[in-house]
Amino acid sequence: MDDLAIDWAALKEQAESELEAASSLQGVEEARVRWLGRSGRIALALRDVGKLPAAERPAAGARGNEVRAEVEALVSERLSRLEAEALHARLAAETIDVTLPGERPQVGHAHPLHQVWRDLVRIFGELGFAVADGPEVETDWLNFGALNIPEGHPTRDAQDSFFVSDTQLLRTQTSPVQIRAMQALAPALPVRVVAPGRVYRRDTTDATHSAVFHQIEGLLVDRGIAMSHMKGVIAEFARRLYGPETKIRVRPSYFPFTEPSGEVDVTCVFCHGAGCRICKGTGWIEIMGCGMVHPVVLKNGGYDPEEVSGFAWGMGIDRVAQLRYGIDDLRHFLQNDLRFLEQF
């Protein structure tokens, strides 16, 4: 009966060597069918277990099942190893030159003036100032008279303004929005607004002059507002725009619609006060005019100057953009040369 005995060890050894020899997924699959299929070698051998004497059958069957499990494990291990090798080979074949330039989406650029505009509005928004608006064609009352600029005042010179009728002109400053904002809110307090916008002067266009430019005006009216608050807000603004080390200095100046009035200098953003070409060696750069709202202007806005006070300031957006980006010629702003726009 010895010839009926099943040599499981030899079978396993043979299966192992066949699987080892299979170098492709297909080869492994063929070997799997050959050994583990319904009429594979192991199935056939297990069928032979029935022919064994009854006493040997259990042990031989158990051994056979063990061998089958071992060959199954072998097959799956072999499969996963070959899959890993195949993946590795594919990835290696897909290697590209990673230093090639990226394929960039065509995305447009925001105009530098508007980038600065948005920045200024954001900073003043952080400081509690909401945006106020007014028309670009303005009455001469709101552009001049209400701002304490009487008839005959030099800044009212018709030479400097574009008129569209006897009483209407292209606003020469964003300051009329001060009056509009106060009139819209009075007698409510506080008035905390900024008014960015386009303004016009009858100037010949060259590198430093433009008939069309942009300003941002600010106004705070409340009870108990003092020059110290004006300095505080402007200093905070300057630090947020130019960096925490920035210092301001306010020099007395004159505007018809504020008194006392001042010009604000900031420590030069290029040399930090040491003196350079941009600040003409002074270490300071003039950035805005400011002042305490003139009593006449408060009255014209609908407030009693005995009850409330306030301060206002105004600055050129174009100038801030020029400083920030190092733009030496104002004409770039309205030319819309893509070589210019695409730098921002």
Looking at the Cβ atoms of 35 and 284, the one nearer to another protein is: 284
> How far, CA to CA in Å, does 158 sit from each of 80, 144, 203?
88, 12, 12
**How far is residue 256 from each of residues 99, 133, 200, 242, 311, measured CA to CA in Å?**
61, 22, 19, 29, 13
Q: Is 331 near another protein (CB under 8 A)?
A: no
Q: Please, which of residues 255-284 interact with Zn ion by CB under 5 A?
A: 268, 270-271, 276, 278-279
Q: Residue number with the shortest CB distance to Zn ion?
A: 268
Sheet of strand 248-255, all strands in order from the earlier edge strand to the far edge? 130-131, 191-200, 212-222, 309-316, 284-293, 258-267, 248-255
37 near another protein, judged by CB under 8 A: no
Longest CA–CA span in the chain (Å) reads 135
By beta-carbon proximity to Zn ion, the closer residue of 273 and 305 is 273
In the list Zn ion, another protein, none, the entry touching 279 (Cβ below 5 to 8 angstroms by class) is Zn ion
Site residues for another protein, 126-185, by CB under 8 A, read 128-133, 135-139, 152, 154, 157-158, 162-165, 167-168, 170, 185
**Contacts (CB under 8 A) with another protein, residues 230-269:** 231-233, 235-236, 249-254, 259-262
Give 53 or 108: the residue with its C-beta nearer to another protein.
108
Rounded Cα–Cα distance for residues 2 and 6 (Å):
9
Task: Report the residue number, 64 or 289, with the smaller CB distance to another protein.
Answer: 289
Q: Which of 55, 43, 42, 56 is nearest to 5 (CA)?
A: 56
| Rounded Cα gap, residues 265 and 97, in angstroms | 52
Near another protein by CB under 8 A, which window of 16-24, 39-47, 71-79, 225-233? 225-233
Cα dist. 30→11, 33, 165, 260 in Å?
16, 5, 96, 98
Of 86-125, which residues contact another protein (CB under 8 A)?
105-111, 113-114
Contacts of residue 306, defined as CB under 8 A and 6 or more positions apart, other chains included, come to none
Question: Looking at beta carbons only, is 12 or 148 nearer to another protein?
Answer: 148
- Binding footprint of Zn ion on the chain (CB under 5 A): 268, 270-271, 276, 278-279
